[in-house]
């Protein structure tokens, strides 16, 4: 019984580590590519406008993201990383339940 618990812990630790690494890479691309394109095409970014627009979007997004994370995590398990990276939470949840 103890060996099975150890393998399960190793699996969850491995899935969690891989999920964190993938999340960092994806966030880096999501931020880096627009900044790189702005630099290549010499586009000046007004960070005041970006922050003003982002704050209104985040006022809606953050509560939804937190509630999705709390309610979907028990259903999705280790697939949660992929689910939240792709943003396709509802479709993955439905396919798992059917």
Q: Are both 28 and 75 inside the same structural domain?
A: no
pLDDT of 32-71, one tens digit each?
999 999 999 999 999 899 899 889 988 988 888 788 778 8
- Count of structural domains within the chain: 2
Contacts of 84 (CB under 8 A, 6+ apart): 23, 65, 68, 69
Which letter does DSSP use for residue 79 in this model?
G
Query: Is 92 a residue whose pLDDT tops 60?
Result: no
pLDDT at site 15: 86
Side-chain-side CA neighbours of 54 within 13 Å: the count stands at: 6
Q: Are both 41 and 87 inside the same structural domain?
A: no
Q: What is the mean pLDDT of the chain?
A: 82
| Parent domain of 91 | 46-98
The answer to whether the predicted template modeling score (pTM) of the entire model surpasses 0.85 is: no
């Amino acid at each position: 019984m103890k060996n099975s618990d150890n393998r399960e812990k190793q699996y969850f630790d491995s899935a969690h580590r891989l999920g964190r690494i993938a999340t960092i890479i994806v966030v880096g691309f999501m931020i880096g590519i627009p900044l790189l394109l702005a630099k290549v095409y010499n586009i000046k970014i007004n960070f005041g406008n970006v922050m003003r627009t982002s704050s209104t979007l985040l006022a809606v997004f953050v509560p939804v993201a937190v509630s999705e994370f709390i309610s979907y995590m028990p259903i999705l398990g280790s697939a949660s990383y992929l689910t939240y990276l792709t943003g396709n939470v509802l479709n993955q949840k439905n396919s798992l339940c059917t």
